[in-house]
Amino acid sequence: MQSSSHSSPTPDTLVLELTAAQALTPEVRRLQLRRPDGQRLPAFTAGAHIRVHIPGAGAEPTRCYSLVNSDGDGLIYEIAVKRECAGRGGSQFMHQLAIGQQILVTPPKNDFALHKPPHEALLIAGGIGITPILSMTRHLQATNRPYALHYGARSAAFMPYLQEIEALAGSRAQLYFDDGNPSRGMPLASLLGAPKTSRHVYVCGPRALIDATLAQALHLGWPRSQIHFELFSAPATTAADRGTTIDLARSGRQIDVPAGTSMLDGLIAAGCDPLFDCRRGECGMCAVHMLDGEVEHRDYALSDEQHSEGLVCICVARARSNRITLDL
């Protein structure tokens, strides 16, 4: 998993050194990071991520990367970064990082943890989304817990950690190659099957895979509480996105938000201090009441009922009216 976020160095920010790197596929680079003094790193659990500070990245100074390894001896954080040629420079920086170079990293945080046992884990990964799923696989294998792994990519050549997966999971791993044609992807309906109270689903990969898995699971009757996912990034801007003016009901302020900018970013740029965390529509931390206006909801945090009551996750919702009034 990789995504971007606002964050400034804090007293617990770690200085880490790149000690090993390797090309896993034509697009993905594996990086191993250690403390320069060789001391232990803060512990983490499967599914955790770190934030790397990207020098000169301006308003989006950090990128989040899932930890791939298991905590082990506590000396290494391993991440894998897919080069995004159309990105904002974070992946290019990580691909150019030289052995011995030092970077600033926040301690691990886990928004995608495995549910407490006992339960069976159904793991679904697409492409670089394998990174937290591999950490989970390692943990489940080491603790002898039941799981099945379904992993898809364009082809074997574009599948990071393929050999590790085959060696680790053996027949518990099922591989899928779509040759770039999503219609030839995973048979989600059959691999999900009927819901079981003893089974939880964990999915990480492109938004299309997460949306399809979520839709199929809900269609099959799975409770939302048994489906866990982590996104690469916030949703992309679409042609329907438009600028809007936000009226803040409590302060009386008016803030213009251009097309392609989230309401959250518009408020921050105007000097407001809204609550937020994930910036991907997953945590619900940024939800506010909309008193007037129209939006397209793109979050996974709120229910349809909460949307109809006027709650809006302003990190991902996009305006569908020229003015929007928020209860702020």
Binding region for ligand FES (CB under 6 A): 276-279, 281-286, 299, 301, 313, 315
CB of 197 to ligand FES, least distance (A): 27
CB of 303 to ligand FES, least distance (A): 13
- Sorted by sequence, the CB contacts under 8 Å of residue 190 that are 6+ apart come out as none
CB of 318 to ligand FES, least distance (A): 13
CB of 315 to ligand FES, least distance (A): 3
CB of 12 to ligand FES, least distance (A): 21
Radius of gyration of the chain (CA): 20
Please give the Cα distance from 250 to 327 (Å, whole number).
6
Strand partners, 296: 318
For ligand FES, the closer of residues 199 and 279 by Cβ is 279
> By three-state DSSP, how is residue 51 classified?
strand
Strand partners, 5: 62
Please give the Cα distance from 312 to 80 (Å, whole number).
33
Tokens representing 105? 């990293």
> By three-state DSSP, how is residue 115 classified?
coil
CB of 297 to ligand FES, least distance (A): 11
Angle between helices 162-169 and 130-142 (to 10 degrees): 20
For ligand FES, the closer of residues 301 and 328 by Cβ is 301
CB of 3 to ligand FES, least distance (A): 11
Asked if 144 and 120 count as a contact pair (C-beta separation under 8 A), the reply is no
Q: What is the DSSP string of 13-47?
A: PEEEEEEEEEESSSSEEEEEEE-TT-PPPPP--TT
For ligand FES, the closer of residues 41 and 314 by Cβ is 314
For ligand FES, the closer of residues 146 and 284 by Cβ is 284
For ligand FES, the closer of residues 78 and 265 by Cβ is 265
With 0-12 / 13-18 / 19 or more C-beta atoms within 10 angstroms meaning exposed / middle / buried, residue 314 is buried
For ligand FES, the closer of residues 166 and 296 by Cβ is 296
- Sorted by sequence, the CB contacts under 8 Å of residue 98 that are 6+ apart come out as 18
Centroid of chain to Cα 189:
23
Asked if 178 and 203 count as a contact pair (C-beta separation under 8 A), the reply is no
- Residue appearing with tokens 């974070």: 90
CB of 295 to ligand FES, least distance (A): 13
For ligand FES, the closer of residues 200 and 279 by Cβ is 279
Please give the Cα distance from 204 to 215 (Å, whole number).
14
Tokens representing 159? 């599948």
For ligand FES, the closer of residues 112 and 158 by Cβ is 112
> By three-state DSSP, how is residue 213 classified?
helix
CB of 167 to ligand FES, least distance (A): 36
For ligand FES, the closer of residues 159 and 286 by Cβ is 286
